[in-house]
């Protein structure tokens, strides 16, 4: 201490260390006992001088360790964690996100941080044109989530623009085909599917995600409205019922569930009797017309916008965006066809 060598004996090591610290604190020199090497001390001094005011070396090290720990997160693990945030949404939404992001995990088997912009572009160029925007939205969503949870510093998909979609006509049922579905639903299985078919055709609810959870408690025949609280978007809405739907629902047995037991088998039989493939028995389906997903919803929305002439009101009614109505549902039915449809 102060250039002098001190020889003293103590019965324990702790007593010796205590005396040593006492002498160092009283020294005129800034002497600090440490287990660091001389080079580590020099590095710490340089690092401390580089830190901004108010930031300690410990703060910097903890931040580095957090960043370092995130480097070990694989793409597959990050996707699994992200998908857990989708579990509260509809089953269809969850399955779609899992399928789309599954494609990304197969393309890039490294960490979520190591995906470059060039690799992101390469992946997007490999997906089907018709699904490009779906993949892009899913991948951007993954990285927005990852940024929020400090797993990544940037989003490699953020600079990629969605593809402009051309107008695509959706598949529609004719009035005769809709009438055939109603007749089959009323005659088969004691009318178990009548409420389901009527609501799908004339209220335009999503045949799976919204209809599966719909109960009679949400159907108000006196005020002619259906309250939809569980569906694809998770945004509640009230759907105004046309008068013909109210008449059909008054014929239904309210003690039966709207989504019946053995739904798949019964709905297949209804479609078969109406002239469509049911998707259960290949032999029966062989000579029948293919069934288009969301047939009933597309038909209801197309007739609704034709009658109302209001894109925004129809979008609210259907739980869609005005852009979606404008892109897919305009000009598909004539005025006389719409009048006939709402008179079924």
Q: Name residue 237's beta-bridge partners.
A: 228
Q: What is the pLDDT of residue 247?
A: 96
Distances from the Cα of 61 to the Cα of 49, 68, 176, 207, angstroms = 14, 10, 72, 54
Single pTM value for the model: 0.61
Whether 306 and 209 have beta carbons less than 8 Å apart is answered as no
Bridge partners of 239? Answer: 226
Residue 237 per-residue DSSP state: E
Q: Are 193 and 278 in contact (CB under 8 A)?
A: no
Give the C-alpha distances (Å, rounded to integers) separating 262 from 90, 217, 268, 269: 21, 21, 10, 11
* Per-residue model confidence (pLDDT) at position 34: 75
Contact indicator for 248, 182 with CB cutoff of 8 Å? yes
Going residue by residue through the chain (344 aa), what tens digit of pLDDT does each one get? 566 777 788 888 877 777 776 766 655 455 566 778 888 888 888 888 888 888 888 888 777 766 655 557 899 999 999 999 887 777 778 889 999 999 999 999 999 999 999 999 999 999 998 889 999 999 999 999 999 998 888 999 999 999 876 556 678 999 999 999 999 999 999 999 999 999 999 999 999 889 999 999 999 999 999 999 876 666 789 999 999 999 999 999 999 999 999 999 999 999 999 999 998 899 999 889 999 889 999 999 999 999 999 999 999 999 988 988 888 888 899 999 999 999 99
312/252 Cα distance (integer angstroms): 32
Rounded Cα gap, residues 114 and 259, in angstroms: 46
> Could you give the 3-state DSSP secondary structure of residue 177?
helix
Reported as half-sphere exposure (CB side, CA atoms, 13 A), residue 332 has a value of: 22
What is the per-residue pLDDT for 24? Answer: 62
Q: What is the pLDDT of residue 125?
A: 94
> Which of these, 223, 249, 194, 225, lies nearest to 317 by C-alpha position?
225
Under 8 Å between Cβ of 334 and 243: no
Say how far apart CA 277 and CA 75 lie, in whole Å: 40
d(CA 339, CA 10): 106
Pairing of strands 237-240, 225-228: antiparallel
d(CA 231, CA 318): 11
Cβ-contact 198, 182 below 8 angstroms: yes
- Cα separation, 228 vs 236, in Å, equals 5
Please name the helix (run of DSSP H) or strand (run of DSSP E) that holds residue 219, with its range, or none.
Answer: strand 219-220
Instruction: Give the 3-state secondary structure of residue 157.
Output: coil
Terminal Cα-to-Cα distance of the chain (whole angstroms): 103
C-alpha distances out from residue 207 to 77, 87, 196, Å: 33, 20, 8
Residue linked to tokens 């739980």:
319
Helix count (H) and strand count (E) of the chain?
16, 3
Length of the chain equals 344
What DSSP letter does each residue of 54-114 carry, written as one string?
T--HHHHHHHHHHHHHHTT-BHHHHHHHHHHTTTTS-HHHHHHHHHHHHHHHHH--SBSTT
Please report the pLDDT score of residue 123 as a whole number. Answer: 95
Give the H/E segment covering residue 220. strand 219-220
In whole angstroms, how far apart are CA 205 and each of 245, 300, 317? 13, 9, 9
């Amino acid at each position: 201490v102060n250039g002098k060598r001190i020889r003293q004996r103590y019965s324990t090591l702790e007593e010796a260390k205590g005396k040593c610290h006492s002498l160092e604190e009283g020294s005129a020199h800034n002497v600090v006992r440490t287990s660091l090497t001389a080079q580590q001390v020099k590095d710490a001094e340089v690092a401390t001088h580089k830190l901004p005011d108010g930031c300690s070396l410990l703060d910097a090290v903890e931040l580095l360790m957090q960043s370092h720990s995130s480097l070990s997160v694989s793409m597959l693990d990050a996707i699994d964690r992200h998908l857990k945030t989708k579990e509260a949404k509809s089953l269809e939404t969850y399955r779609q996100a899992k399928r789309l992001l599954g494609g990304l995990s197969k393309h890039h088997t490294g960490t979520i941080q190591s995906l470059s912009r060039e690799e992101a572009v390469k992946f997007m160029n490999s997906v089907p044109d018709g699904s490009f925007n779906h993949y892009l939205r899913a991948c951007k969503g993954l990285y927005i989530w990852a940024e929020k949870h400090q797993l990544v510093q940037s989003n490699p998909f953020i600079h990629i623009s969605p593809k402009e979609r051309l107008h695509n006509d959706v598949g529609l049922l004719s009035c005769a085909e809709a009438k055939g579905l109603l007749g089959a639903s009323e005659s088969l299985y004691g009318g178990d599917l009548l409420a389901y078919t009527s609501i799908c055709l004339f209220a335009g609810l999503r045949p799976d995600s919204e209809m599966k959870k719909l109960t009679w408690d949400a159907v108000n025949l006196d005020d002619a409205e259906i309250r939809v609280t569980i569906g694809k978007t998770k945004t509640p809405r009230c759907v105004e019922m046309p008068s013909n739907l109210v008449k059909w629902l008054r014929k239904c047995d309210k003690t039966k569930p709207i989504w019946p037991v053995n739904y798949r088998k019964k709905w297949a039989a209804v479609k078969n009797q109406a002239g469509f493939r049911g998707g259960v028995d290949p032999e029966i389906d062989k000579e029948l017309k293919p069934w288009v997903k969301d047939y009933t919803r597309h038909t209801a929305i197309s007739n609704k916008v034709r009658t109302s002439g209001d894109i925004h009101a129809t979008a609210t009614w259907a739980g869609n965006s005005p852009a979606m109505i404008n892109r897919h549902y305009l000009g598909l039915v004539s005025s006389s066809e719409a009048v006939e449809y709402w008179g079924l």
